[in-house]
């Protein structure tokens, strides 16, 4: 079985589901009453747990004490409306590139741009390994040109548009929300679903993309499968985990 290594910073996702019946008397803000809390591993750890749901040979290289890095969302319990997100301790220590296992078959860089990976680090990883999938919050540049594939969303693409060369563009898989994904000028649509929560959808798309690719070596088939699996995730509340069903 092919081996996968995920590299990137992780956090704990916390969802505080609340009830709100009125606005504060002194300010136009809702008064919320917490009813329940749900927690799960986030960012690179969410990519890792989605990959391992489909493919057991996967390891992760991430920040120490990642559970102290928190994204806490206060969400209306009935409508799933997001009131507020609070981020804590979200600048992390840079990783040690000497720990990268280049004997694995696929490297997945899940870069949330919190300090764990520099552009130079990602470039060095891509130069050292022939099959690297990048998902990054950094604006793209030539440092990404040695990646096998680059998964970003439409907003991230627009921020990098000025720096996207033809070489980079041929590697980019751009997710388009409900419209699917675009690769090398072709849009691969997905079935309409009633979106309940888009949290973690990009992580699930990336995980499904990588697992199907290592089993088929067909990137178009992998994009189509990732569309299907990510669509199931956004139909759920909170951050879900993909499955083959």
| Rounded Cα gap, residues 124 and 58, in angstroms | 21
184-201 burial: b if 16+ Cβ within 10 Å, else e: eeeebebeeeeeebebbb
- Residue 45 corresponds to which tokens in the numbers above? 């750890």
pLDDT at 235: 78
Q: Please state the domain extents for the chain.
A: 4-234
Phi, psi of 181 (to 5 degrees): -150, 150
| Rounded Cα gap, residues 115 and 75, in angstroms | 28
Contacts of 240 (CB under 8 A, 6+ apart): 200, 204, 232, 233
pLDDT tens digits for the chain (245 residues)? 899 999 999 999 999 999 998 999 998 889 999 999 999 999 999 999 999 999 999 999 999 999 999 999 999 999 989 999 999 998 999 998 777 888 899 999 999 999 999 999 999 999 999 999 999 999 999 999 999 999 999 999 999 888 898 999 999 999 998 899 999 999 999 887 777 778 888 999 999 999 999 999 999 999 999 999 998 888 788 788 887 66
The CATH-assigned architecture of domain 4-234 is 3-Layer(aba) Sandwich (3.40)
pLDDT at 244: 67
Alpha helices in the chain (DSSP H): 44-54, 119-128, 154-160, 166-169, 201-216, 219-234
Contact 131, 152 (CB under 8 A): no
- Residue 17 corresponds to which tokens in the numbers above? 């589901």
pLDDT at 142: 93
- The pTM of the full predicted model, rounded to 2 decimals, is 0.92
| Rounded Cα gap, residues 6 and 133, in angstroms | 9
């Amino acid at each position: 079985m092919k081996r996968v290594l995920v590299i990137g910073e992780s956090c704990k996702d916390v969802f505080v589901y609340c009830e709100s019946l009125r606005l504060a008397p002194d300010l136009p803000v809702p008064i919320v009453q917490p009813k329940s809390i749900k927690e799960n591993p986030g960012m690179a750890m969410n990519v890792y747990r989605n990959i391992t749901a489909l493919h057991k040979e996967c390891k992760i290289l991430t920040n120490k004490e990642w559970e102290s890095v928190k994204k806490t969302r206060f969400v209306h319990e009935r409508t799933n409306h997001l009131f507020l997100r609070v981020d804590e301790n979200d600048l992390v220590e840079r990783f040690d590139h000497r720990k990268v296992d280049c004997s694995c078959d696929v490297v997945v860089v899940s870069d949330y741009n919190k300090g764990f990976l520099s552009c130079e680090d990602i470039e060095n990883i891509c130069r050292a390994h022939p099959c690297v999938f990048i998902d990054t919050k950094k604006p793209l540049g030539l440092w990404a040109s040695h990646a096998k594939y680059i998964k970003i969303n439409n907003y991230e693409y627009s921020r990098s548009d000025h720096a996207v060369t033809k070489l980079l563009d041929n590697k980019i898989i751009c997710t388009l929300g409900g419209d699917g994904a675009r690769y090398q000028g072709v849009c691969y649509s997905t079935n309409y679903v009633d979106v309940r929560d888009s949290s973690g959808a990009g992580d699930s798309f990336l995980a499904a993309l990588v697992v199907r690719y290592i089993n088929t070596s067909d990137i178009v088939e992998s994009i189509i499968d990732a569309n299907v699996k990510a669509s199931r995730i956004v139909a759920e509340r909170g951050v879900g985990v993909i499955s083959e069903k």
